[in-house]
Structure 1
Amino acid sequence: MPLREIRLNSGLVLAAFLLTHFGNHALGLFSVQVMEDMRQVLNLVWRNPLGTFLLYGSLFVHFILALEALFKRQTLRMPFKEAAQLVLGLSIPFLLVPHVVGTRVEFSLTGHDSGYPDVIRGFWIISPANGAKQALALVIAWLHVCLGVYFWLRAKHWFGRYAILLYTIALLVPVLALLGFAEAGKEIASDPERFVPAPGPAEAQEMLAGIRLAFYAAFAALIGTALTARGIRAYKNLSTNIRITYPGAQTVTIPQGFSILEGSRLVGIPHQSACGGRGRCSTCRVRVVKGLDGQPPPSPQELATLNRIKADPDIRLACQLRPAHDLSVVPVLSVGRARMLDLVTSNQVASGRERELAVLFCDLRGFTRLTEHQLPFDTVFILNRYFEVVGQAVEEAGGHLDKFIGDGALALFGLTTTPESASRHAFEAALRIIEGVERLNDAFASELDHPLRVVVGLHAGAAVVGDMGYGQARGLTAVGDTINAASRLENLAKELSAELVISDEVARRARLDLSGCERRTVAVRGRAAPIDAWIVLRAEALSE
């Protein structure tokens, strides 16, 4: 499993613990006894050997991997949210050490279980200042969790629909927890004789104080080690600078350990990178015209991308290649400075985002023959009426009309909905298009030698959606295997004289009953895997 995934999973474990902890605090709105009863239940989850190993193992792994990521950064320049997550994360151990040692460690060493009455008495009555510090620590930990979850989910296609709900939950959880803590404190203060804490072993307090200092020293040493290692690396890199020569004899000097893409950005050389330099695309690729021998070999991630585009041996990804010595490169996909600034500052849609879409391709059969028997302006008039039918059908079904291609059209569904809804909407749009064309035939029956016949192909799957093109021809569109497959299914409909060819993926997601139609496994040109598809000769049969 990649380190990034391990770090994410360990963070989710910690988030789950913090969420249950906050939920337990919120029960103070009812009573201290309810809080304590729920704590006993949660202890069954987090204080058994497996829960303890999972919780503290995740804490250790998450912290170490965070330091590893900090060390790998070539520069500490970063967006504000990333910087906030980093600073908050590094401060959390120091803020939580007193509470953890005073509860979990003390219980492990002495068997004394500090329950909510003990802890709240100490924070609310004996030392309110420590209570305020603990409340601040929990809020900081929650902010760190929320930022991490945000970075994880923001690229998900459904995030926009549920963002307000998630933000509301993120706000309510700590507010309710703090209100519960305050109510519990008031309850204990109003009747101090009712909640008399069981005294812990006096001899253990000196040992616990030493453990707290040890924890502080350990965390400080780990952070200091990471920062010191960064400093040593930076110092060593000063004496091992690498020269990168670009077209036009433009030369950039970078410290060893920087990638070519980082070198380009360091001095402001325009360099394409649609995925932001994460190795998930090939747009930053360069041709190494000199100095390729002796460079680090491609990582598995880079090699997979290069193999996918069938790159020549001298092609490397600029975001992944960290040169070991001087070299000369030529960016394969060059961009102007204005375009580069646009790519850097654009939103996620402009730079491309993978989404689950339903795709509709439709086309008129025999339209070339129709134009041979119509006056040019009459042809334009009929064609515009057909485009109107398609556009209205797509818009009424909640889709996005991507483009018209001759007498064909491409429409996308799922830009703002779930994959299941997208497939249902695409199917509804297909039926509306077919019905609309039949109405056109009735309206122009006296003018048409042959009725208009439309064919539609529907497919669903992942595609990259982005703002693509150049100048006035730039707009929102999608690319990928799903788009190509939908086009092939539309061509198959022509070959079979069928009105609709629906991939099994669309039928499954939309929960269509196509048992009365023929199902085929068809080989799609340009695609290795075949597609299971349903052949609908006449769409009107689906409503019978």
Structure 2
Amino acid sequence: MGMDRLRLISGLILLLYVTGHLANLFPGIWSLQAMNREFELWHELWESLAGKTLLYSAFILHLGTVFWGVARRRTLRLPALQIWQILLGLLIPWLMLRHWVAATGGESIWGLELDFRHVVALLWQGGWSSLVSQTAGVVVVWLHAMIGLHLWLRFKSWYPPWQGLLLVLAVVWPLLALAGFIAAGSEVQLRADQAQWWAVVEREGHITPEKLAEMTWVIGWVVTTYPLLLLLIFAGRQIRLWLLHRLSAVRLYYRDHHILPVTTGASVLETLQQAGIPHASVCGGRGRCTTCRVRLGEGGEALSPADAVEQRALRRVNLHGEEISSQQLRLACRIHPTEDLEVTPLLAPNCSYSESHLQPSHVTGEERELVVLFADLRGFTAMSEHRLPFDVVFILNRYFRAMGLSVEESGGYLDKFIGDGAMALFGLDVPVEQGCREALECLGRVHQRLAEVNEGLVNDLEQPLRVGIGVHMGRAVVGRLGHGQARQLTAIGDVVNTAARLESLCKPYGVAAIVSSDVMERSGFAHQHLQQHAISIRGRQQALQIYAAESLEDFIESSNKGLHGLKNGSD
């Protein structure tokens, strides 16, 4: 079992204990006696041999794995939330040692028999420093636990819808506990004025001034020693890093212009963080989020195969199986180069988990075969010259809606609107043959949708809206391109330029659509009734065979015939 797994399991056990311990304080809102009854039930559970073994083992494991994790880290450049989690975690022992020595050591070392009455009384009699330390300890423990719980659960599919409710619960729980503690403390203060009550508390708990003095000395010694332990851990970490750096001879080649020395045993992510180079890593290098994934270049064959944690993480992302099996895609946080290695990042440094997770690989960038459709509204520039801006916007939005619905209903992706034109992609998530069929079905839907728009605007238009459409297929680079809010999924390549060229030829040919022969043949649709031509395209040595249709309605007929033929062929 890995260190991360041990830290998670031990942390969950401690969280269970803390959650129940805080719940013991709730009845203090009503009375100290009610709180004490709840404590007796809880005390029996955790003071049993099994309970003590589980609790102390979890505490030692959790603290040990945290210390070990900090000591072996080659860089502390981590996401802000993880930094806060570590800092709060290191602060917990220092704040809670007073409580732990009094509650646990008081019974096992000094023979005290304490229940909640005694613990609350001792804390409130200890003055403001004791109360502030105790309250701060509760807040720090709970914040540390909630940050850790969030960092773990945020990658679970069920978590986001419940996050708001869980946040409310996370805030209310310690507030109720503190309210119970304050109410019980107020009751203690009132009773403490009665010398007889305090004498009974001391007698029942076997509390003596000598024992309290010894406890105070031990608490002071432990509180002073703990910071020295932290100093020793961080000093040892620096010495270890210095020695490892001197022994390293491995180089990391990153983005073609960074050559970085790799500290012995360091991961690619740690090497980048040490050099101050931004690289996506939402989970802080724990192999959970996959945002740090990279494509391997030279030297990748020398790496150890992906372990179970890495394979499980990569399987959650919709990547090509052959890429994973051939070790071309790896997580930067899980690979530790022992020879020179070349890597290329696949995501932007500020990429979020939602942007990267469970998305098709074409979102992050790939070359693939697809179908591109270009459409342009004919004669609209002249039509809009004598219209009010509101009318122009109204008509264009009706046209855009018709185009968008036609593309989406056909299974395509509406890339963008350019002026009064539109660009759509087909075959992103399906075989290109199906993409060809979807693109041609889209032409038929455009005809029907545009007819509905023209019918609705019959009294506002001198002539019906007409479009020219070009459709072509081929290889293109697909990915999320742009900057900021203008960043979106699109395609670039010769196929895009050719589709735009086919659309522009609709006007001189006097047709509504021009489709390349590649699209028609791969779709399986009938095309005997369409005009066939051969045209020259800049950059192509051979002429491109095309099919032209005077009306988009022709593709409804082509679609029906093509589907009928495909069905008969399959029979």
For Structure 1 versus Structure 2, the TM-score category normalised by the shorter chain is 0.5 to 0.7
Q: Distance in 2 between the 1:66 and 1:254 partners?
A: 24
Which residue is 2:495 aligned to?
none
CA RMSD in angstroms, aligned pairs only: 4.8
- Match of residue 251, structure 1, among 252, 259, 263: 259
Q: Distance in 1 between the 2:284 and 2:122 partners?
A: 49
Give the Å deviation of 1:54.
1.0
Q: Distance in 2 between the 1:178 and 1:85 partners?
A: 22
Paired AA for residue 151 in structure 2:
F
Paired AA for residue 357 in structure 2:
R
Give the Å deviation of 1:469.
3.7
User: Does 1:165 pair with 2:175?
Assistant: no
User: Contact 1:284–1:318 (CA<8 Å) still a contact in 2?
Assistant: yes
Stretch moving more, 262-271 or 106-115: 262-271
Which residue is 1:373 aligned to?
none
Stretch moving more, 22-31 or 154-163: 154-163
How has the CA–CA distance of structure 1 residues 73 and 101 changed in structure 2, closer, same or farther, with 3 Å as cutoff?
A: same
Which residue is 1:116 aligned to?
116
Paired AA for residue 330 in structure 1:
E
User: Does 1:353 pair with 2:367?
Assistant: no
Which residue is 1:323 aligned to?
337
Q: Distance in 1 between the 2:45 and 2:13 partners?
A: 12
Paired AA for residue 286 in structure 1:
L
Which residue is 1:230 aligned to?
237
Which residue is 1:2 aligned to?
2
Give the Å deviation of 1:209.
4.8
Which residue is 1:344 aligned to?
349
Q: Distance in 2 between the 1:211 and 1:205 partners?
A: 10
User: Does 1:48 pair with 2:53?
Assistant: no
Larger Rg: 2
**SS of residue in 1 equivalent to 2:65:** helix
How has the CA–CA distance of structure 1 residues 300 and 348 changed in structure 2, closer, same or farther, with 3 Å as cutoff?
A: closer
**SS of residue in 1 equivalent to 2:249:** strand
1:139-154 paired onto structure 2 within 5 Å: 139-154=139-154
Which residue is 1:131 aligned to?
131
How has the CA–CA distance of structure 1 residues 391 and 189 changed in structure 2, closer, same or farther, with 3 Å as cutoff?
A: farther
How has the CA–CA distance of structure 1 residues 246 and 106 changed in structure 2, closer, same or farther, with 3 Å as cutoff?
A: closer
Q: Distance in 2 between the 1:93 and 1:320 partners?
A: 31
How has the CA–CA distance of structure 1 residues 14 and 386 changed in structure 2, closer, same or farther, with 3 Å as cutoff?
A: same
Q: Distance in 1 between the 2:489 and 2:169 partners?
A: 32
Which residue is 1:285 aligned to?
295
Give the Å deviation of 1:126.
4.8
1:265-304 paired onto structure 2 within 5 Å: 266-267=274-275, 278-279=286-287, 280=290, 283-289=293-299, 297-298=304-305, 300-301=307-308, 304=311
Aligned residues: 393
User: Contact 1:288–1:314 (CA<8 Å) still a contact in 2?
Assistant: no
User: Contact 1:274–1:283 (CA<8 Å) still a contact in 2?
Assistant: no
User: Contact 2:101–2:219 (CA<8 Å) still a contact in 1?
Assistant: yes
Q: Distance in 2 between the 1:131 and 1:65 partners?
A: 30
User: Contact 1:103–1:113 (CA<8 Å) still a contact in 2?
Assistant: no
Give the Å deviation of 1:8.
0.9
Q: Distance in 2 between the 1:151 and 1:274 partners?
A: 9
How has the CA–CA distance of structure 1 residues 251 and 346 changed in structure 2, closer, same or farther, with 3 Å as cutoff?
A: closer
**SS of residue in 2 equivalent to 1:61:** helix
Q: Distance in 1 between the 2:282 and 2:325 partners?
A: 18
Give the Å deviation of 1:171.
1.4
Give the Å deviation of 1:185.
1.7
**SS of residue in 2 equivalent to 1:323:** coil
How has the CA–CA distance of structure 1 residues 288 and 281 changed in structure 2, closer, same or farther, with 3 Å as cutoff?
A: farther
How has the CA–CA distance of structure 1 residues 409 and 60 changed in structure 2, closer, same or farther, with 3 Å as cutoff?
A: same
Identity among equivalent positions (%) equals: 25
User: Does 1:309 pair with 2:316?
Assistant: no
**SS of residue in 2 equivalent to 1:75:** coil
Paired AA for residue 105 in structure 1:
G
Q: Distance in 1 between the 2:15 and 2:414 partners?
A: 41
Paired AA for residue 200 in structure 1:
H
Q: Distance in 2 between the 1:42 and 1:53 partners?
A: 15
**SS of residue in 2 equivalent to 1:330:** strand
**SS of residue in 2 equivalent to 1:288:** coil
Give the Å deviation of 1:219.
4.5
How has the CA–CA distance of structure 1 residues 80 and 61 changed in structure 2, closer, same or farther, with 3 Å as cutoff?
A: same
Paired AA for residue 13 in structure 1:
I
How has the CA–CA distance of structure 1 residues 69 and 32 changed in structure 2, closer, same or farther, with 3 Å as cutoff?
A: same
User: Contact 1:3–1:65 (CA<8 Å) still a contact in 2?
Assistant: yes
Paired AA for residue 351 in structure 2:
S
What is the TM-score with the length of structure 2 in the denominator? 0.56
User: Contact 2:482–2:488 (CA<8 Å) still a contact in 1?
Assistant: no
What is the TM-score with the length of structure 1 in the denominator? 0.59
Q: Distance in 1 between the 2:227 and 2:35 partners?
A: 34
Unaligned residue ranges in structure 1 (runs of 5+):
335-339, 356-376, 378-383, 395-399, 412-439, 444-466, 478-544
State the Cα deviation string for residues 333-387 of structure 1 (Å, max 9, x = none). Answer: 67xxxxx6xx22132211x2249xxxxxxxxxxxxxxxxxxxxx9xxxxxx9999
Give the Å deviation of 1:307.
9.2
1:54-203 paired onto structure 2 within 5 Å: 54-192=54-192, 193=194, 194=197, 196-197=200-201, 198-200=204-206, 202=208
Which residue is 2:549 aligned to?
none
Give the Å deviation of 1:79.
2.7
Q: Distance in 2 between the 1:74 and 1:112 partners?
A: 45
